[in-house]
Every structure is written in C-alpha cells, then in structure tokens.
Structure 1
C-alpha cells in the first residue's frame, strides 16, 4: 500500500512548481501577440513611437519568457522523478504531445526570440515583423501541445490498456489531438493569457499616466491593450462556458463538486451564487440559489438532468465492482495469455479497471476487498468541495469584472479621456494581480477537481507516485522552494527595474507627440 505522506508531498511539490510556472505562461501568451500588433503598426506607419513600444514591452516579455523556460523544464523532470509509475503507465501517450511541443513549438519560439532581440539592424522591417509573429505563434503552439497532454489526463480518449505490456497505448492519435476537453482548455487558457497580457500593459501604462510620464506612449499602449483585452475577456467567458459544458459531458463529479450539488436535482439544475458547503453532512448552509442556470451551463438543455454527488458515488461503487472483474481477468491473462475466456471478459470490462485500483489504497489483494472497503473507495471519488466551489466563483467573478473593465477602458481610449479619469487609472493599476488569481483558481479547479485521479477514471493519483523515501521528497521540495523563491525575487527585481526606467532612451529619435507634458506625481 502507498505511503500517503510521500504521495501528498509529491502532489504538493508538483502543484507548487506548476502554479509557479504558470505565473509566466499567460503573460508570455498575452504579450507576444500585443507586441506583434504594435510592431505591425510600426511597419505600416513608420512612426518610431510604435517601435519603442515594441522594444519596451518586448524586453518585459523576454524576462518573463526566460523565467517560464527555467521553471517549465523542471516540471517535465518531475514526471520521471516523482511520478515514475505514471510515466511507465501512460508515457507513450502523454510523452508524444510534450515531445512535439519541444520540437515544433519551443524550438520555433526560442529560435525566433533571439532574432527578435538581435535582428533589428540585421533584418528588414517586414522580415523582423515576420519573426515577431512567429514568436507569438510559437508561444501559442507550445500551449496547444501541453494542453493536449493535460486534456488527455482529464478525458483519456484514443487509447487502450494492453494486458501484455501493462501500459496504456495509443490507438487513435487524432482522437488524442482533437480531444474535446483539450481543445476547450486550449482556447479558454490562451484567452485568459491574452487578458493577462492586456491587464499587465494597461496597469503599467496607467502607472506612467498617473505620474505624467511617457503620455503618448502609454495612451497608445492602453488603446491596444483595451481592444485586445476586451476581445480576450469576452472570449474567456464564452469559451469558459464551453469548458463547463465539456466537463458536464465528461467529468460529472468535478462539475457536481464545483456546484456543491449533493443530490440530483430536477432538470435544469440551479446555481448556488453563495453557499457554505458542508462535506461531512453533505449539505449547503446559507445557500443563495438561482434556478436553471447550472443545468443550462452543464447540459445546454432544459430537460437533461445533472447527476448529484451522491448518485455519482453510487455509480463509482458499481464501476469498482465491475473493475474487480476486469482485475481478476487480468490476473488470469498474466498467468496464461492464451486464456480466451479471460481475454473476452477483460476486453468488455477494462474501462473500469482504474476504479478497482482505488482499492489498492486499502489492501494489496483487492480481489478480497470487503463491501466496506469498496464503499470507502467509492467515497474517495469525491474531491474536496469547498476549494472547488469558491475557486470557481472567484474565477467567474474576475472574468465578468474584466469584461466591464475593458469595455470602459476601450470607451475611454476611443474618446481620448484616459488622462482625465485618474480614478480609473488607479483602478487599472490595482487590478494587476487579478488575472493571475483567476488563472491559478482555474488550474486548481482543473487539477484538484480531477482527484483522486491522475488520469481520470484510469489511474489513481496515489498509484502513480514513485517509491521515494520521505527524506528524499522533503529535500527536493525544500530545494524547489528555495530556488523558485530566489527566481521570483530576481524576476520581480528585473521587471521593476525596466518598468521604473521606462521606455525613455530606447530610440535616439522621438516623435513630437511623445513629449510628455509636466504633471504632478500621483
């Protein structure tokens, strides 16, 4: 049976590195396209202010990109170090998108980012613009393949279990690529990145305007960010609805936990705007309930039921019992590969094998599991509800806030009123952390909501961990915390240094309309 302390510490270590890494990814996605837009305007107009905008935001992009690479590479090593059985069990499937990401996207991005910084005086305007767009496309291709891999963990399609190799193997790679969960996650995630980049540019530009610095530069930057951010914010909400629908089709327990829906409700199910979920009693205290909303989001219908947590637990119990039949047939096949009866039984029941493996937490010989252990294992399929419930509402609340925020920013930029609304400039600056809070909440929903599975319905998380000793995981965890804290300090110091210095002096020439008028310090 697994050492659950090692498993939980392994989960904590991966969660820390993944969430830290994703502080940099969305800003990379958002800034890359905004820089490409700014340089496109420079090439079309020839105005130097747009070149300096491209250079300034490009430097901040480069710092962020370097940190993202440094933290992302470490994550991949953890699959072999901390999750070796996971790598053995699904490595043929999970490893392919990551390999393609490295060969197709990361090399493209890393190669052209060098040309972006060092090719200004070596390439023509059009050639350099093409380089900038390729950097942006490379960033998004990188996210695509990583999210294809992650989407397969959420909804494992196009693969089957081979009883001879004791591994999951690809049967339809196109199904893996066009996995509906992966596609929904990709468009939702990159849209969130676009919003993050837009908020970053808006907040820093607002800071300059409050101090009367780089006024023309900042107004143009905010105009680009407002239009780009509004499109991104609208996309996040629309595509988030698509992600909710896909989860309702394929990850019913996650969606029920997000809503804290303990019992199946008549269709269409309602939505709790506010509640205090009580997992021990399976009730919600002080619930503010809006009818119909969750059912429409989860099923896009008025007559299709969304199963509650209790019903899904009962389904899980049945799948555990069916998985035990598959496990027994697998043992017979391992003893005699020619056993045709055992093979037929296994082929008809193997989809529930992962549910039987949940019993490994309680006994080695799961074929002798008691009814009490089966019931306990079925209860393990319920994730912790309160963190999912509140994370979802935080994410959704921030998403709708940014629609209003960018719509107002777009109106101010269009009517040349940005400098007059100092209250809005202060609001823009203090809104800087919000997209990261929403994104980290979204990843908590995606990954924490999948528990107890590392591959949904296929492989329990505790079963996938390496057989490390407690002191080994503690040493590596402490090392990651120290190194990543140091990197965070360096990153903040570098970004702050560039921002405080500002875009002044980045070009010898300066257009007349960029002369900053004197203004009082905010």
Structure 2
C-alpha cells in the first residue's frame, strides 16, 4: 500500500474526528445542565428557570445540529477510506455503530424535537420527562460509539474465522462490557460535562461583566460551578482508571506517554517534564516525581513498569510468531489447506497482526533478517514527543478546571458573587477566557488515545496500513481538502450563531400591566 495513501487517510479521519469532537462535548454536557435547570423550574415554578432552559437550550440546539451533521461523514469514511478494516471487523464493529445510529437519529432526535416544540403542547412535567430523555439519549449515543472505539483499543469477545477472513463476535457481552470501553465512556462523558460547565460559567461571567441578565447569570454560575466542580473531580479520578487500564492492555501507549525508555523498578516515578530524543532513544532531560506513576498505573508499590525498549523486545517475539501465522494463512488461502497447516495457524493466530508489521520490509516473512525484525518492532513505538506533551496539556487543564470551578462554587455558596463583580472582576475575566480550554483538553485526550495506539487500527490485530482502501493519493487528497473546507465553514457558522445569540441574550419577561418587555439593566462602566 502506498504510504502516502495511508498517511493521508489517517490525516483525513483525524481531521474529521477532531472537528466532530468540537461539537460533541458541549452537547453531552449541556443536555444534562438543561435537565437540571428544568427540574428546578418544575419544582419551584419560578419563570426565571424556564427562561434559563430556553436560552441555554437555543445554544444547545445550534451545537447539536452541527454535531450530528459532522458525525455522519465519519461513519461513511469506514466504507470509503477503510474498506478492508470494515470488511475485516464489520461483524463486531457494525453492531454498536448501528445501535449508536439508532440512539442518535431516532431516540435522541425525537426527544430533541419534543424539547424545542413541546413547551406549549405538553405539561411542565411531561416536558421535563422529554428533556431528561433527550439528555440520556445523548449520553447513551456516546456510549455505543465508545464501545466500538474501546474494542479497537482492546479487542475482546471476538475470534478470527480463517474461512471468512473476518473477525466474528464470540461474546457480545464481552464487547459491551469491555473494561477499556467503559473507562473511555465515563471519562469522555465527564470531560463533556466539564466543557459545558465552563461554557455556561464563562458566558454567564461575561454577562456579569457587562451588567446584563444578572439574575440569569448568577443562577447559571451556581449550577455550572457545582456541576463543573463535581465533573472535573470525576474526570481526574476516571482518568486514573484509564491509566490503569492502559497499563493492563496498552503498555506501549502508557510507556510513550511517560517517555519511559527503560523499565522502571517499583514504584515507578512520574516524569513531570522531559525532552525525549527519538534518535538516541532516551531523554536528554527529565524531572521525576517518585512513586506517582507506580501508584497510577499499577496501584501498588511493588510492581515494575515495562519501558519502551523492553516492550520492543517483546514485540520482536510476537513478530516472529506473527510471520508464521500470516505465511501459513496465505498458504491455506492459496489451496494448501491441511489439518497440519490449520493447527500451525491456530498456534500463532494470537500474533497474526504482528506479521503485518514485516510486510514493508520483506515479502518472505518467515525469512526476515534480525535487522528487518528490529525495524518492524520499533514501528510499534509512536513518536514520543507529541504524546508526552499532549498528555501533560490535558492533565494541566484538568487540574485548572478543578481550581476554577471550586473557586466559583465557593463564591456562589458564600453569596460573594456580587462582591466579585464589583471588586474582583479579574476572576470573571479568567472564567471568560477559560471557555476554549476544555476543547483543547478534549482534543489532546483524543490525540493521545488514537495516535498512541499506532501502528494499530485494531490493537495487536490489524495495522493501520493494512486497513485502508485501494485509493490514489489524488482521490484522498481531494476529499481531505473538501472535508477541511466544509467543516471549517460549519465551524465558522456555529461560532457566529453562538455569538449572535449570546449577545442577544435570553428573552426578557413581559410586564403584566402592558405586555411590554422589561428594560435591560443599565450597563456598568466600560471595561
């Protein structure tokens, strides 16, 4: 396969996925915040909470539409750019993807319609039920796509059928309750909650700076701070669970994230800062914190952690075994189908994917030289530098979110928010300028998750290069340019629409005597 086609296909999927995930976190989190706000409205009957739900619901709707539209093309790409992957794992991957489609386009979309058009057609309690159903549908939609993605990270509950040349489901229960998928789901959803909380917090802080819609802004900050503080704490805890699962199922990813070239004796230390050198295969500089990585990755003080070099050595043995499996498979498919051949294949089938790593270096896999095997084994190591720092950007953002939401949670609980507006306005400015940071953290998280499992499209089973379609560089380049142009236009449209309705603000209540709307509060002095 032309390496240009492989790299461009990877880039295209990465670009569409990263664009798509600009919309997803806000949808996940805002749906829950809307349900919480409407619950307060139904319980208290106060109209301010209904106006809050309608205002934030408008912003939710803008984001939801673009999230769905950008997600559609991602599913089509599996057939367009990754046809062999789709054929190879369609029996396993197709089921959760189909359920996700049903959740997103039937259940979720139905209740989104009821949310927007049911205010005057349903009772308050009936509308509340629809809002909670919309929120749950949105989150369960994410569950199924993350089950599919989690299976790619840790393929369980499936076996390779030599006659059909496909992975086939052996236990759907194992596919659904895959520990990697479950950890990814709760971590991803919690990150979406933080994104929405900081969005609501930042927009409300902007209103307070402008002296507009203060009643709505104070209540929104109270909800966002409490919700965001709890979510930010959960993101850190659930991120720890993801690290533990990575050490169990994706040791190379974790070693690269930590720039851990050598095997660390127990308890392993954590590199706060490092300067990885891919050529020398060592760190030219590093600052360590003792014990921390051992506690995170092994949850013990007596287990060592395998470094990159040791994991490469382990890969060499699997490559030798995989070469036998792949050569035997080709002989069987070529007509030399005997019980002895099948028995030999079954002895090495667990390493079949590693045989693909040798294909760029030799046509006679079982006669590969040590130099070829060594080169193939080092291809299991992603570039350390971007992995190391992307992970630390994500972690730094996470701890900042805890601090920021904790401060505003205290201010709202202590009734000091108005004093902040008058005397410590810099805190409100910090909240406003922090709005983009959750998106940055989310994108860094997905980069670590997906780039960190290269060269695998299915961990240990199928290489990314083996999964692409038979396309030309020109074809992929044209579609890549088209997607980037289209998605950029959609992103600009969303940002403009969000800014338009944020500037416009919520509808003001009507004065009962005249039916006129109440005047806006006089704006505070210009900043």
TM-score greater than 0.5 by the shorter chain: yes
Query: What's the CA shift string for 1:186-235, capped at 9, x where partnerless?
Result: 00000000000000000000000000000010000000000000110000
Query: What's the CA shift string for 1:19-40, capped at 9, x where partnerless?
Result: 0000000000010000000011
Aligned to 2:500: 497
Matches within 5 A, 1:20-419: 20-336=19-335, 339-419=338-418
2-structure distance, mates of 1:256, 1:262: 7
1:331 Cα deviation from its structure 2 partner: 2.9
Tell me: CA distance 1:91–1:514, structure 2 relative to 1, closer, same or farther (3 Å): farther
2-structure distance, mates of 1:200, 1:229: 10
1-structure distance, mates of 2:206, 2:103: 38
1:335 Cα deviation from its structure 2 partner: 4.2
2-structure distance, mates of 1:164, 1:340: 13
Match status 1:425 vs 2:424: no
1:337 Cα deviation from its structure 2 partner: 7.5
2-structure distance, mates of 1:507, 1:224: 25
Query: What's the CA shift string for 1:232-288, capped at 9, x where partnerless?
Result: 000000000000000000000000000000010111111110111111111212311
Equivalent residues of 2:322, 2:351 under 8 A apart: yes
Query: What's the CA shift string for 1:133-182, capped at 9, x where partnerless?
Result: 01100110011000000000000001111110111111111100000000
Match status 1:468 vs 2:467: no
Equivalent residues of 1:332, 1:339 under 8 A apart: no
SS in 2 for 1:348: helix
Equivalent residues of 2:29, 2:194 under 8 A apart: yes
1:508 Cα deviation from its structure 2 partner: 7.0
SS in 1 for 2:113: helix
1-structure distance, mates of 2:509, 2:434: 28
2-structure distance, mates of 1:126, 1:485: 40
Count of residue correspondences: 521
Match status 1:520 vs 2:525: yes
Q: TM-score, normalised by structure 2?
A: 0.96
Tell me: CA distance 1:223–1:73, structure 2 relative to 1, closer, same or farther (3 Å): same
2-structure distance, mates of 1:473, 1:372: 33
Greater Cα offset, 439-448 or 334-343:
334-343
1:330 Cα deviation from its structure 2 partner: 1.8
2-structure distance, mates of 1:465, 1:119: 45
Greater Cα offset, 340-349 or 499-508:
499-508
Q: Which residue of 437, 442, 445 corresponds with 2:445?
A: 442
Greater Cα offset, 512-521 or 495-504:
512-521
List alignment gaps of at least 5 residues for structure 2: none
Tell me: CA distance 1:506–1:337, structure 2 relative to 1, closer, same or farther (3 Å): farther
Greater Cα offset, 104-113 or 287-296:
104-113
1:513 Cα deviation from its structure 2 partner: 12
1-structure distance, mates of 2:38, 2:23: 22
Match status 1:455 vs 2:458: yes
Equivalent residues of 1:49, 1:514 under 8 A apart: no
Equivalent residues of 1:148, 1:182 under 8 A apart: yes
Equivalent residues of 1:216, 1:516 under 8 A apart: no
For the aligned residue pairs, the C-alpha RMSD in angstroms reads 1.8
1-structure distance, mates of 2:69, 2:311: 41
List alignment gaps of at least 5 residues for structure 1: none
2-structure distance, mates of 1:443, 1:175: 24
Aligned to 2:6: 7
1:123 Cα deviation from its structure 2 partner: 0.4
SS in 2 for 1:192: helix
2-structure distance, mates of 1:338, 1:275: 52
Aligned to 1:482: 485
